[in-house]
Chains A and B, each alone.
Chain A
Amino acid sequence: MNAVIEQITGRYVHLDIEGRDHRVYFEEAGAGIPLLCLHTAGSDSRQYRGVLNDPAVTAHFRVITFDLPWHGRSSPPAGWENESYALTTDLYMTTIRAFIRALGLEKPVLMGCSIGGRAVLHMAIRHGHELRAAIGLQAHAGYDPRMHPLIKDIAYVDRPDVNAQEAAAATVSGLIAPMSPSADKWETLWQYMQGGPGVFSGDLYYYMVEGDLRNGLLADLDTKICPLYLLTGDRDYSATVERTQEVMRFVPGAEMTVMPDLGHFPMSENAPLFLTYLRPVLDRIRAA
């Protein structure tokens, strides 16, 4: 047989989240230290296929990634048609911890990008002792985007008279580094075009409003309990290098890597380049 078959396997797990059953899709590859990966707002776990398929990583790490409820192949909970989705810090942390418990992951390394990068910070603050280390990609405490009033007031990514598939992709397309490979750029955008109605904006509620960390809580993040590594692509005009540096000022002991020529989706827009920055961090975590 000559077919190329990737080493990734996908399954479903049922999680009790806030008293409701959720059918959650996850993928994994490799063996060793659990490395749990969180996707960006309005997308899904496919963003991590480059990490899941990297033998240098999977030789030592069990790489696992799941679609948040409402995203990708994870269903919204029964009754979703009568509610509107809004991600909150409590809901996000509860979901991550339910997943870790369900799979019996022993002190995983937690890595997340964008909203996932914020979640990594929240998890390290609240439950750092449950993690071996935290890796934030394009992570920052929060800022006041010029775009936010438009997203909030005209709600253009969540209204019936706008094609939300096109609007979501067009909103994030400029966050990708212009030098990233075209095929990977467009695959990243395709995943944005497949999100359910209201889901992208529901995630942005956490990112831009409720989950803002410019509130002093970062001072509670103890890197002696949970080492923190921050990797930021320098072509991202929203989660900028400067905004990650603000996190560094509040978190003594955190380590930061600037990734030239990468944008807001380093793991999916240019995985080979991203992996050159990730592998040394994983080596250090393994050696610690």
Chain B
Amino acid sequence: MIKDIVDRANADPLLLAKCRFIGIVFAIEGDTHRTVIRVDHGQVSVDPDAAPDFILRAHDDAWADFIQPMPPRGTHDILALLEGDRLTIAGDALALFRNLRFVKLLLDQARNEEVVA
């Protein structure tokens, strides 16, 4: 499910254009899965061996809620999950918040639905 976002991002030239000046590596972690995503100045790829700048960590049930087409209350956004104590941010938080809009756009691809922001 999370891995799909890379394929969807690469099929979206407008989205790729938004990361022209972004160079980050981050991990999305659940109980049973871990995906390391590299965003490298206009290109998005899965890179399992890369060291992430930051990690978004949540239980599988939180990610399962997050990717629903219309997620339950408090689960449609990573900051909502954070406020609800269902997600933690490890590593370089500034790297996340410096690129927060793009990271959210990328994660919304997991939903295969209208993008929220």
Contacts and interface: CB of A to CB of B under 8 A. Distances in A.
B108 to A, nearest CB: 10
A37 to B, nearest CB: 24
Contacts of A161: 98
Contacts of A154: 93-94, 97
B102 to A, nearest CB: 8
Interface in B81-107: 82-85, 93-94, 97-98, 100-101, 104
Contacts of B98: 156, 161-163, 167
B76 A174 contact: yes
Nearest to B92: A154
B16 interface: no
Contact of A145 (B83, B97, B101): B83
B1 to A, nearest CB: 18
B17 interface: no
A240 B83 CA distance: 11
B94 A156 contact: yes
Interface residues of A, number: 27
A176 interface: yes
B83 A238 contact: yes
Nearest to B80: A237
B117 A189 contact: yes
Interface stretch (A90-98, A177-185, A279-287): A177-185
Given A146-B82, A234-B73, A174 B94 contact: no
Contact of B79 (A169, A171, A235): A171
A174 B100 contact: no
B114 interface: yes
A158 to B, nearest CB: 11
Contact of B73 (A147, A176, A235): A235
A16 interface: no
A88 B70 CA distance: 38
Contact of B117 (A145, A150, A174, A235): A174
A238 B83 CA distance: 8
> How large, as a class, is the contact surface on chain B?
20 to 34
Contacts, number: 71
Contacts of B79: 147, 171, 174, 237
B85 to A, nearest CB: 7
B94 A178 contact: no
A226 to B, nearest CB: 31
A161 B98 CA distance: 8
Contacts of A166: 100-101
B97 A173 contact: no
B67 interface: no
A170 B100 CA distance: 6
B97 A174 contact: no
Contacts of B76: 174, 178
Contacts of A186: 117
Contacts of B2: none
B78 interface: yes
Contacts of A185: 116-117
B48 interface: no
Contacts of B53: none
Given A156-B98, A170-B104, A238-B83, 9 more contacts: A170-B101, A173-B77, A176-B117, A178-B70, A182-B114, A186-B117, A189-B117, A234-B73, A237-B77
Interface of B: 70-71, 73-74, 76-80, 82-85, 93-94, 97-98, 100-101, 104, 114, 116-117
Q: Enumerate the 6 nearest inter-chain pairs by beta-carbon distance, A residue then B residue, closest first.
A: A174-B77, A173-B117, A170-B100, A170-B101, A156-B97, A237-B80
